Chain A
Amino acid sequence: MRLFKFNPLTAKKVARFKQIRRGYYSFLAILALVAFSFFAELFINSRAIVVSYEGELYFPTYGAVIPGDTFGLGYSYETNYRELKERFEEEGSDNWVLLPIIPYNPYENNEYEGVFKPAPPSFSEGHWLGTDTTGRDIVARLFYGFRIAIFFSFAFLILTYLIGIAIGCLMGYFGGLFDLIGQRLIEIWSNLPFLYVVIIVFSVVPSSVPVSARIIILLTVMVMFSWMGMTYYMRTGAYKEKARDYVAAAEAIGASTTRVIFRHILPNTLATLVTFMPFTIVGAITAVTALDYLGFGLPPPTPSLGELLKQGTDNLTTAPWIVVSSFFTLVTILTLVAFVGEAIREAFDPKKFTVYR
């Protein structure tokens, strides 16, 4: 039994989308990655999944830090589970440790040949893609970097669309002086140089602000300078729909402005909106990567694709695996999202045969 039914038009669009294999599989792949990233801590982490010690079971992944003292290691900071595993194995006791597939977190520095420097990919060490310039595992940094980037861009998408749609629809619906003034204000606003604002804002943000708040500030600044694009489409959409009879009918039976805009006009302009979504995600990932690359993005040592890319280009000849893995990761993500975007656009296109075929 289905919980809800699409209306026939939507169902047709969904079916059409599924038909476009490239886009559909890309969509599934991204969905899988996002779903996987919710549980990334179980697969890529320095914390063990399960520790069995003296007959008791410990699950360190999601809880508080378990100090080394708990397992008789004689230190009060977080247990090094890789060492613990080796120790248990050496002792040959009944204690055991189950480590994630990649037993490294994105922050810890691992030595290679006795120093902190990039190590080439090695399966035996568990560094599948090698390590970066201070010996941090690249898979871990890429994956957690991806997770931050994708959630960042979802948040970015939702916020820009909320603002863009609301203001765009209002301008289109009311028209006249409101539209005229709104348009001019947007023109002025969009002429502010975004990059300078980011630089200035981050130079005045006190360093006492924690990382999470800094990410929110970055998001806010980016949203502030990105919602304008959407207003143009929604404005034209609203203008067009407003002239239709059904809007006049709705108004005639006394529907409120909010109701007319959000129940009648908006659903009919949705097609435009949906097709833009994936490309906004691409844009947001690119923007946050670029900002990190330039050093104005997320504060170190937050894992990020842009920072890794920068390290890669800085060490092009001495550690090519850094740039290769970060470049391919970025290209893959962006390509997948773009494929989804193309497919959506085609699925929503009333003309069945288009160039996207």
Chain B
Amino acid sequence: MKHFNLLKFTPLPILLLGGLLAGCSSKDESATPADPETQARIEAMKAEVQEYYQTKVSLPPELFEDLEAGRVTQEEVDKRIAAGEFPKFFNFKTPADLPDGLNWKDGSDLPEIGSPKAVKGGTSYSSIQDFPRTLRTIGPDANGSFRTYLLDYNALQIARQHPNSTELGEDGPLFFAELAEEWAVDKENQTVYVKLDPSARWSDGKAVTADDFLFMFFFMQSSYIKAPWYNNFYNRSYRGITKYDDQTFSIQVSIAKPDFATYALGLSPRPEHFYGELGDDFPERYQWRFEPTTGAYVIEEGDVRKGESIVFTRQKDWWAQDKRNIRYRYNYDKRRLQVVRDVEKAFEMFKKGELDAASLSLPKYWYDKLPDDDKLVEGGYIKKAVFYNQRPRPPYGMWINTAKPLLNDRNIRIGIQHASNWELVIDKYFRGDYERLNHTAVGYGEFTNPDIKARPFSIEKALESFAKAGFDKRGSDGILENSKGEKLSFSLTTGYQTFQEPLTIIKEEAAKAGLDLRLQVLDSTAGYKRAIEKQHDIHFMAWGYGAEMYPRYWETFHSLNAYNPDGSIKVQTNNLNSMAVPELDAMIEKYRNSSDTGEMIKLAHQMEQLIHDEAVFVPAFYIPFYRAGYWSWREYPEDFNVMTSDSPSEFSLSWMDPKKKREILDALKKGKTFEKSVKVYDQYKSAD
């Protein structure tokens, strides 16, 4: 799951089984003198960047909407740009130009996260399911779960939203400083002013400057990175950047959303000196190069063993190590990620002490594979913890493709809703631990519509609804048929092998209501591809939502992401329902451009109601907590973790004492026991 709203959301990868790991990054290896050809290339790129700074203009957000909807053509826009109608995106001023009366902040008034008891040192051992396909954090194949370790959990931002608070201050969410020394928010002009911490350094020793932020915009807007979603996002979400001096700059955000400051403060710079060789061959050229990072962890040379493991090392004398809100985090000297393709094997390795921790969120692990009376738990060698978090919930459920025959009939979709017995799955398979999801946007506080309830399993209602669509008699196999002899049969695909079992239960139950679901469990990549290529009938998955203030609808429900202008299906978008309802489109556009919290809440509730009425998404379940088992040499803060975290490792709060590890393993051999610890941390428990 991804952090903040500056990243494209990806399918939820291995939430339940993934690791309890924290992130890391990499080291520049381009220190060797470049050959003349490369040198020429670097010079050319420098010139190109400067040229871009001079010419790039900033278009108003309405113009993007008009372009998308085909109300204006690109040629007309180009003409208007040439006529000098729009302001420049990159601006250069002097510190004297800074407006007066700015209210500078650094977030030091907020309570600090992490435990003062944390000590540095030791190595943490974790597993990953697949070896990453690239070490880039952008471009083809970079959107996988490994990005989390490189970027999301490691790289620092200008300032970070405080993870223990979702309340709003006068400038929106509450932040603490990371790369910034201080910042100021100008609400009226939706602009954020930033003074960088003068000690901020890239992992290769170079200073982090305002130029790296200018370059970030060039980089993220350029076609070289082969990432259209980011191109679009960095073009339309920002109006421009102004450099005052090497440490000072300001960023203007396009729309004064209630949380607009997040758009600016959540940015991470890109090292200009590293991307000198940028070009059309970027994906291949930078495939296995480690971008210098502002974060704690780097990958040292020789620590990438392809297909086997990756080791991250904490930088010695890391520039931010004594900074408030950072000093008690990133505690391990080394983090070793080992590829273990088989989840069950990884769990056994954990029980043998080869891995430090394992997720116990699935009931079978919590109750059967590591029960409270397990020898390792009884003896206090392994601790168990349940942590209730508060964050947007990944919408696990069945996404119905309305572009498919029969599924375009609302009565059939409603029938499918009533024929899906998620109550039984939650009750009997998840043992009542998980909660029924009611719609796609749960966990957004006021933005969540509390009145919508998922349709209950009901054979009568399902049959009634199917009958309205003409499916009113059962065939010899008990499956409904219509007068044309068509069977009520759809494929149910998923890329989550973990959830094969609950889906077989859904299939068996659906047959009672005369609905045949042909289950197909694919590997995660093939499953995801099936869905975003819109080849599915019904697809089971969840999106990995970040800890955002309000839900997004454009990506998943706007008709622009369902059909091309010529009426063909648009592939490679997140609109898995092929949803194209003009009324909804209008609301999404209004919501997207709205800066009024009250209006946005109202719209969010209305849109959710409309999606519910259309019955395109069968809400399945959400998990109001995460559960973990960890060897007792690993330590967590007294309150275990922070409110919005989605896994124990997200904020890198844990630490260990290497001596204690030896003691515990020794004690295990000798049969000496410790205090048993099975704890529930419910300080953030809430009714979503």
Contact = CB atoms under 8 A, between A and B. Distances in A.
Interface in B459-508: 459, 463, 474-478, 491, 493, 497, 500-501, 503-505, 507-508
A136 to B, nearest CB: 8
B519 interface: yes
Nearest to A319: B368
Given A300-B504, A314-B344, A67 B474 contact: yes
A224 B513 CA distance: 40
Contact of A77 (B363, B491, B512, B530): B512
A208 B537 contact: yes
A207 B501 contact: no
Given A77-B512, A77-B514, A134-B501, A207 B535 contact: yes
B195 interface: no
Interface in A242-268: none
Contacts of B512: 75, 77-78
Interface stretch (A112-120, A159-167, A190-198, A346-354): A112-120
Interface string A294-315: 0100011100000000000111
Contact of B428 (A111, A317, A318): A111
A76 interface: yes
Contacts of A67: 474, 478
A295 B508 CA distance: 20
A77 B459 contact: yes
Given A65-B476, A300-B504, A300-B519, A318 B514 contact: no
Given A133-B501, A299-B519, A207 B526 contact: no
Contact of B497 (A76, A114, A115, A295): A295
B535 A206 contact: yes
A317 B477 contact: no
A211 interface: yes
Contacts of A210: 518
A2 B369 CA distance: 62
A108 B428 CA distance: 14
Nearest to B432: A115
Interface string A201-228: 0010011101100000000000000000
B500 to A, nearest CB: 6
Contacts of B537: 207-208
Q: Which residue of B431, B504, B507, B537 has the most chain A CB atoms within 10 A of its CB atom?
A: B504
Given A295-B521, A300-B521, A116 B474 contact: no
Contact of B530 (A78, A107, A117, A207): A207
Interface residues of B, number: 40
Given A116-B429, A207-B520, A299-B520, A77 B511 contact: yes
Nearest to B511: A77
Contacts of A314: 344
A236 interface: no
Contact of B369 (A75, A115, A295, A318): A318
A301 B344 contact: no
A215 to B, nearest CB: 13
A332 B611 CA distance: 54
B501 A77 contact: no
A298 to B, nearest CB: 11
A151 B437 CA distance: 43
Interface string A316-349: 0110000000000000000000000000000000
Contacts of A133: 364, 501
A271 B520 CA distance: 43
Nearest to A75: B459
Contact of A318 (B368, B507, B526): B368
A78 B428 CA distance: 21
B429 A115 contact: yes
B525 to A, nearest CB: 9
Nearest to B374: A317
A76 B429 contact: no
Interface in B637-659: none
Is chain A's binding surface mostly helix, strand, loop or mixed?
A: loop
B62 interface: no
Nearest to B497: A295
Interface string A43-71: 00000000000000000000111010000
A111 to B, nearest CB: 6
Nearest to A108: B508
A109 interface: yes
B491 A134 contact: no
Contacts of B459: 75-77
Nearest to A318: B368
Contact of A208 (B429, B491, B508): B491
Interface string A160-176: 00000000000000000
Nearest to A66: B478
Interface string B420-459: 0000000011010000000000000000000000000001
A321 to B, nearest CB: 14
Which size bracket describes the interface of A in this complex?
Answer: 20 to 34
B508 A299 contact: no
A317 B537 CA distance: 38
B504 A317 contact: no
B256 interface: no
Nearest to B479: A65
Contacts of B518: 207-208, 210-211, 299
Contacts of B477: 64-65
B160 interface: no
A323 to B, nearest CB: 12
Interface string B5-21: 00000000000000000
Nearest to B430: A115
Contacts of A114: 428
Nearest to A114: B428
Contacts of A63: 476
A65 B478 contact: yes
A206 B535 CA distance: 8
B504 to A, nearest CB: 4
A158 B501 CA distance: 35
Contacts of A299: 518-521
B669 to A, nearest CB: 20
Contacts of B526: 203
A133 B514 CA distance: 25
B314 interface: no
Nearest to A118: B368
A241 to B, nearest CB: 48
A203 B530 CA distance: 9
B369 A317 contact: yes
A131 B478 CA distance: 25
B523 interface: yes
Contacts of A206: 491, 535
A67 B428 CA distance: 25
Contacts of B491: 206-208
A314 B343 CA distance: 9
A295 B536 contact: no
A207 B504 contact: no
A108 B505 CA distance: 8
B119 interface: no
Interface in A112-155: 114-117, 133-134
Interface string B362-395: 0110001100000000000000000000000000
Nearest to A68: B512
Given A67-B474, A301-B519, A313 B429 contact: no
Contacts of A301: 504, 507-508, 519
B522 interface: yes
A76 B344 contact: no
Nearest to B503: A300
A75 to B, nearest CB: 7
Given A65-B476, A207-B518, A300-B503, 15 more contacts: A64-B477, A67-B478, A76-B459, A77-B512, A77-B513, A78-B512, A116-B505, A133-B501, A207-B520, A295-B523, A301-B504, A313-B344, A314-B344, A315-B344, A315-B368
5 contacts: A77-B459, A77-B512, A117-B368, A133-B501, A206-B535
Closest 4 CB pairs of A and B: A64-B476, A207-B491, A65-B478, A77-B512
